[in-house]
């Protein structure tokens, strides 16, 4: 891995504080949802989501299928048909902004279906999103970090393996300089070795003080990674657990998300 | 069949190629617009007509010569297209195809109606630039120099736009937007602006075709409506949303149509549709379309 990953921070300067829950309380809120409602057509999906993520924190959204975790990320990006309530990014209200303006505030979104474009090569996919002020990793830095992608730069995006596509989807938003990442089920459907590599990557991003909201099905993936966990059900947060409480609330958590 | 002299054959191929250039330019615009906006642009023939009339009226009223019209008319008509997109088409995003189809169809009727009312259905003649008067001897036939120019300009424009779409980052936005515009916007690209510009580009291209056509065909209000139907067939045969398909199919069909005039003149005007039926039977997604 390269050592040149000390990234500039468009949202704010990096803090020295360790990302513990107690410290989080004093840190700046990078993302704050207050009583957010969202609709697809006539279907009312989010019913008052309230959550916040502080700078440098990794927060997971857990829950059963159909609970509304993907919709939460889509609501933050402005990709639902209608939304109501308050969504603040680094303090700025974005509920009325179009998606591209939200992205340009430094929000990097990796959709559940990965969203790699078939008509673009690997490298075109990587270079697609415009860089934001401050910029992020250069293409060379990304290739140093993820050598697989370098080898396949001329390959049609959707011909990459599932794992490579997932790496590409993450790399794509790292290139822009986004410091708040919204990652939807990145470990889904991937082989355990690839999941380990993703875990390594996210851990590394955490150490670089990225702020990450992670939707996961796989509790295993987030248990050592996330500072806090929200359980989402029927479009609301039904449980909030800090990393420290995780062991003691295992049973409770199991009841909410166990299958 | 073998008693047809070669010069006659080549002559029809050449004439077909000129027609094919117009098919290609119109279909390319239709394909790009359909790809990104999901709009079946029924006003495309009318803006082609508008381009021809703008050149004609510009020359009559303002003394604008052909060379200036060639640059100004696509820009002005393209700007009109952008206005239509911003003020009207945009309000229909997310609704069924049928709404935008009806809107653009209505717009075509209004535009053609206005010109029919003022100029009637008789054609107006527009003189091409004196620099391009004269004939080129191709050996097998003598072709007006102006038609050679039309072929050269259309090919250059089509290749240029194809390169823009396939080889530049602006083109990557367009290709990605054609696949999933919402996601492209969530990645930070101003898709609403891109949609306006793309519609303007398609409309401007049709207007350019109109200016190029003005000295060849009669300038008249319904000149675009027949051409439009063929252009739609070209897009379908080439494969919806395929730019290369639209260009090559447009040129190819022009030539085939020319040839059919030699062998079986009675069907020459239906050739395109016979080919469309055959292609759809074998490859429902079109010659260059991605099979679903
Ligand atoms: N485009 C849509 N139109 C209508 N309803 C939708 C749409 N997308 C999702 N829903 C509904 O919204 C609810 C929440 O879906 P969402 O995708 O947010 O769930 P999730 O928590 O991400 O679950 P998972 O991804 O595990 O299925 C579900 O009931 C789903 O059926
Ligand atoms: Mg989901």
Res. A14 pLDDT band, cuts 50 70 90 = very low
Å from CA of A69 to ligand 2 middle = 6
> Is residue B64 one of the residues assigned to a domain?
yes
Rounded mean pLDDT, B179-199:
96
The CB of A65 under 6 Å from ligand 1? The reply is yes
In tens, the pLDDT along B162-176 reads 999 999 999 999 999
Token pair of B200 as six digits: 């303007």
B217 pLDDT higher than 50: yes
Q: Which CATH number fits domain A19-257: 3.40.50.300, 3.40.640.10, 3.20.20.10, 2.40.30.160?
A: 3.40.50.300
Show residues of chain A in contact with B169, CB under 8 Å.
Answer: 124, 127-128
pLDDT at A259: 56
The whole domain housing B121 covers: 26-223
> Exposed, middle or buried by CB within 10 Å (0-12, 13-18, 19+), for A189?
exposed
Q: Are A247 and A233 in contact (CB under 8 A)?
A: no
Q: Which residues pair with A43 in a beta bridge?
A: A40
At B100 the pLDDT is 93
> Does the pLDDT of residue A12 top 50, yes or no?
no
Report domain extents, chain A.
19-257
pLDDT of A122-156, one tens digit each?
A: 999 999 999 886 778 899 999 998 898 999 999 99
Mean pLDDT calculated for residue range B139-156: 90
Report the domain count for chain B: 1
Question: pLDDT value at position B138?
Answer: 79
Residue A7 has pLDDT above 70, yes or no: no
Beta strands in A142-250 (DSSP E): 180-184, 211-215, 228-233, 236-242
Asked if the C-beta of B191 comes within 8 angstroms of chain A's C-beta atoms, the answer is yes
Residue A10 — very low, low, confident or very high, per pLDDT cuts 50/70/90? very low
Model pLDDT, residue B289? 79
Classify residue B83: in a domain, yes or no. Answer: yes
Closest CA to B30 of B124, B101, B122: B101
**Could you report the per-residue pLDDT of B231-282, keeping only the tens digit for each?**
999 999 998 878 899 999 999 999 998 888 888 888 877 888 899 999 999 9
For ligand 2, the distance from its centroid to the CA atom of residue A53, given in whole angstroms, is 19
Q: Are B35 and B286 in contact (CB under 8 A)?
A: no
Measure Cα distances from B234 to B85, B198, B247, B255, B279 in Å. Answer: 24, 20, 9, 13, 11
In a domain, B145, yes or no: yes
Where b means 16+ CB within 10 Å and e means fewer, A123-157 reads bbbbbbbbbbeeebbeeebbbbbbeebeebeeebb
pTM for the model stands at: 0.89
| Whether A21 contacts A242, CB under 8 Å | yes
Q: Report strand pairing: A29-40 vs A82-89.
A: antiparallel
What value of ipTM does the predicted structure carry? 0.87
Decide if pLDDT at A5 tops 50: no
Residue A11 pLDDT: 37
Residues B110-132: pLDDT tens digits? 999 999 999 998 888 898 898 88
Pocket flag, ligand 1, residue A67 (CB < 6 Å): yes
Let me know if residue B274 belongs to a domain.
Answer: no
- Inside any domain, residue B91: yes
Q: For chain B, how many helices (H) and strands (E)?
A: 10, 2
Among candidates B176, B179, B189 on the partner chain, residue whose Cβ is nearest the Cβ of A100: B189
- Hey, whose CA ends up nearest to atom 31 of ligand 1? A66
For residue A63, give the ligand nearest its CA. 1
pLDDT at A22: 53
For chain B, the first-to-last Cα distance in angstroms comes to: 40
pLDDT digits 0-9 by tens, A90-106: 999 999 999 999 999 99
Answer whether A129 sits within 8 Å of B187, measured CB to CB: yes
Contact A179, A9 (CB under 8 A): yes
The two most distant CA atoms of chain A are separated, in Å, by 50
Mutation test residue for ligand 1: of A44, A51, A68, A238, the one with most atoms within 8 Å of CB: A68
Measured between alpha carbons, how far is A3 from A220 in angstroms, rounded to an integer?
Answer: 29
B48 occurs within a structural domain: yes
How many contiguous H segments (helices) and E segments (strands) does chain A have?
Answer: 10, 10
Asked if residue A74 has its Cβ within 6 Å of ligand 1, the reply is no
> For residue B284, what pLDDT is reported?
86
Centroid of ligand 1 to alpha carbon of B134 (angstroms): 67
Min Cα separation A250/chain B (Å):
35
């Amino acid at each position: 891995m390269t050592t040149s990953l000390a990234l500039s921070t468009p949202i704010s300067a990096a803090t020295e504080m360790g990302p513990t829950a107690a410290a989080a309380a004093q840190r700046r809120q990078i993302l704050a949802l207050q009583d957010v409602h969202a609709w697809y057509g006539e279907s009312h999906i989010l019913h008052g989501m309230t959550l916040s993520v502080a700078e440098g924190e990794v927060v997971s959204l857990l829950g059963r299928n159909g609970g509304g975790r993907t919709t939460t990320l889509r609501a933050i990006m402005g990709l639902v048909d209608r939304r109501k309530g308050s969504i603040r990014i680094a303090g700025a209200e974005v509920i009325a902004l179009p998606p591209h303006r939200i992205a340009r505030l430094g929000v990097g979104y990796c959709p559940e279906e990965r969203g790699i474009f078939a008509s673009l090569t690997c490298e075109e996919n990587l270079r697609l999103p415009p860089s934001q002020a401050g910029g992020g990793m250069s293409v060379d830095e990304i290739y140093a970090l993820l050598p697989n992608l370098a080898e396949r730069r001329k390959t049609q995006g959707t011909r990459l393996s599932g794992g490579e596509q997932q790496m590409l989807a993450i790399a794509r938003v790292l290139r822009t300089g986004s410091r708040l990442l919204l990652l939807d089920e990145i470990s889904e459907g991937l082989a355990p070795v690839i999941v380990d590599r993703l875990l390594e990557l996210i851990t590394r991003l955490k150490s670089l003080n990225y702020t990450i909201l992670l939707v996961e099905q796989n509790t295993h993936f987030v248990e050592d990674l996330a500072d806090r966990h929200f359980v989402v059900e029927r479009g609301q947060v039904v449980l909030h657990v800090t990393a420290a409480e995780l062991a003691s609330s295992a049973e409770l958590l199991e009841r909410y998300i166990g299958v | 069949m073998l008693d047809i002299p070669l010069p006659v054959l080549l002559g029809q191929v050449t004439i077909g190629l000129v027609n094919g250039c117009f098919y290609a330019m119109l279909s390319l615009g239709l394909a790009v617009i359909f790809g990104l906006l999901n709009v079946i642009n029924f006003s495309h023939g009318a803006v082609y007509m508008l381009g021809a009339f703008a050149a004609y009226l510009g020359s009559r009223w303002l003394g604008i010569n052909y060379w200036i019209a060639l640059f100004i008319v696509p820009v002005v008509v393209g700007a009109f297209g952008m206005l239509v997109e911003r003020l009207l088409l945009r309000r229909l995003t997310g609704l069924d195809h049928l709404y935008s189809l009806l809107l653009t169809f209505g717009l075509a009727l209004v535009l053609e109606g206005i010109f029919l009312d003022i100029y009637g259905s008789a054609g107006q003649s527009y003189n091409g630039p004196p620099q391009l008067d004269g004939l080129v001897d191709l050996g097998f036939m003598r072709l007006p120099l102006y038609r050679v120019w039309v072929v050269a300009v259309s090919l250059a424009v089509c290749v240029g736009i194809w390169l823009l779409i396939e080889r530049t980052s602006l083109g990557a936005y367009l290709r990605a937007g054609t696949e999933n515009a919402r996601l492209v916007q969530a990645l930070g690209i101003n898709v609403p602006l891109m949609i306006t510009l793309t519609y303007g580009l398609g409309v401007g291209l049709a207007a350019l075709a109109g200016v190029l056509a003005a000295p060849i065909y009669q300038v008249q209000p319904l000149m675009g409506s027949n051409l439009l139907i063929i252009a739609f067939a070209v897009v379908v045969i080439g494969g919806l949303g395929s730019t290369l398909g639209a260009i090559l199919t447009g040129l190819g069909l022009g030539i085939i149509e020319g040839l059919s005039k030699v062998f079986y003149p009675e069907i020459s005007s239906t050739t395109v549709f016979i080919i469309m039926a055959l292609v759809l039977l074998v490859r429902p997604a079109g010659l260059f379309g991605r099979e679903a």
